[in-house]
Each structure stands twice: as structure tokens, then as C-alpha cells.
Amino acid sequence: MDNNFRNGFLANLPIGVSVFAYGAVLGVLCIQKDIEFYQLALMNIFIFAGSSQFVIVDMWSTSLDIIGVTVAALLVNLRYFLVTASLNTLFLGTTKTQKFKFMHFVTDESWAITMQRLKQEEITPMFLLGGGVCIFSVWFLGTSMGYFLGDFIQSPEKYGLDFAFIAIFLALVISMYKGKENIIPWLITIVSAIAFEQLIDGKIYIVLAAILGALSAVIFSKDKRYE
């Protein structure tokens, strides 16, 4: 086994505990929405995006609006344009075909850990793939456990499982904090997200806030170079 793949897999295991927990919550929600396990499994395999899957399950009904659900899921996942763009350094010297092989397994968690490790040592795209496979494995296991044990976990909040997603997000944010230069772009992103959520229906506010935050980071970074 490639050392980078193994190292990526192992590096993501600690955070995989939280992924397993909120995957279990999704499994429970699928039970409550009368979603068949094969449908959940297909979502895991072909979509493999926790936030989008939560949106899809939340919008699930007997009169399912396929177009509405698809658009909502795509909007939530638009942030991956920014995520994958940030991986250019890791994929230097590789072909587009090679890049496409890895992209499906890119997650917020494996991306954050890969970017952090990239600053510390030289790694290959296999590290990213190993992390993605790790997250996929625990996500699939978590959703499956939640689905089949859903009758025993009717109230996830009683066990703190509803906090798992927030906990993992906070862990990723803290690990990516580089210093006071992050404060202004992060504040702009937070304020923008809150404002856009109030003004715009749907999940597009996530993408708009991310774009503003990224632009502000670029602007302040350029200003700093000329100080």
C-alpha cells in the first residue's frame, strides 16, 4: 500500500469519529422519512456529500421535487469549486484524468487535513485519496448503523449526536487558523452568511459568503505584501 495513502487514511481516523456520529444521525432521519436503505446507499456512493445529503433527506417527501432537490444539493456543493481550486499545488504535474480520479472522494475533512499536512511536508495526491476513502468508509458505516439502529435512537439530541457536525466544523476551523490575518476574512464570511441567509431563500448564501470571504482574503493578502 502506498505510504501516502496509508498516512492520509490514518490522519483522518480521529476526525472520522465525528463523521460516523453525524452519519448515524442521517441514517436515523432516513428511517423517519421512509427512505429505503438502497436509496441511502446510492446517495452515499454517488453523492457522498454530507451537507447535500442532509438537504436531500430534509426535502424528501411523497411528492418529491426532483429539480428543486437537485438544485439545492448543487448549490450546497458549489463550495467545492473553491476547495478543489486550492488543491492545485498538490496536483502539480498531474493530468486532468488523474485529478478526476481523486475529486469524488474530496471532503471538507480530508481537504482540511491535507492542506494542513501540505504545509508541513511533501505529500502526493494519494494522501488526499487515503483521507477521502477513510471518511467515505466511516460515513457509510455511520449512516448504515443509524439506519438499522434507528428505532433505538429516535432522539439523536439526547445523545449529543446532533452536535457532531458542529464539533467537527469547529475542529477543522481551529486547525486551519494561521493567525490574526485570518480574522477579518473570517468575520466578513460569517457576517455575509448571516445576512444572506436572512435575505435569500435556499442555500445559495453559503456559496456567496464563501466567495466574499475568499475575495477578502486575497485582497488583504495582496495589501500585506506591499506593507
Name the more confident of 156 and 150.
Answer: 150
Q: Are 186 and 210 in contact (CB under 8 A)?
A: no
Distance CA 66, CA 166 (A): 28
When mean pLDDT is compared over 140-144, 161-165, 171-175, the highest value belongs to 140-144
pLDDT digits 0-9 by tens, 195-212: 988 888 766 777 778 778
When mean pLDDT is compared over 97-111, 116-130, 167-181, the highest value belongs to 116-130
pLDDT digits 0-9 by tens, 170-202: 665 666 666 777 788 888 888 988 998 888 876
Does position 168 have pLDDT exceeding 60, yes or no? no
Supply the mean pLDDT for the chain: 79
Q: What predicted TM-score, i.e. pTM, was given to this entire model?
A: 0.70
* Least confident segment among 26-30, 72-76, 120-124: 72-76
CA geometry: angle 160, 8, 102, nearest 5 deg:
100
Strand, helix or coil for residue 170: helix
Q: Identify the pLDDT of residue 15.
A: 87
Task: Please name which of 225, 168, 176, 218 lies closest in space to residue 14, comparing C-alpha atoms.
Answer: 168
Average pLDDT, integer, range 80-84: 76
Number of helices (H), then strands (E), in the chain:
11, 0
Residue 77: CB atoms within 10 A of its CB come to 18
Q: Identify the pLDDT of residue 213.
A: 79
* Least confident segment among 69-78, 126-135, 178-187, 189-198: 69-78
Q: Identify the pLDDT of residue 159.
A: 59
Q: Are 123 and 89 in contact (CB under 8 A)?
A: no
Distance CA 101, CA 173 (A): 27
Does position 162 have pLDDT exceeding 60, yes or no? no
Average pLDDT, integer, range 27-51: 88
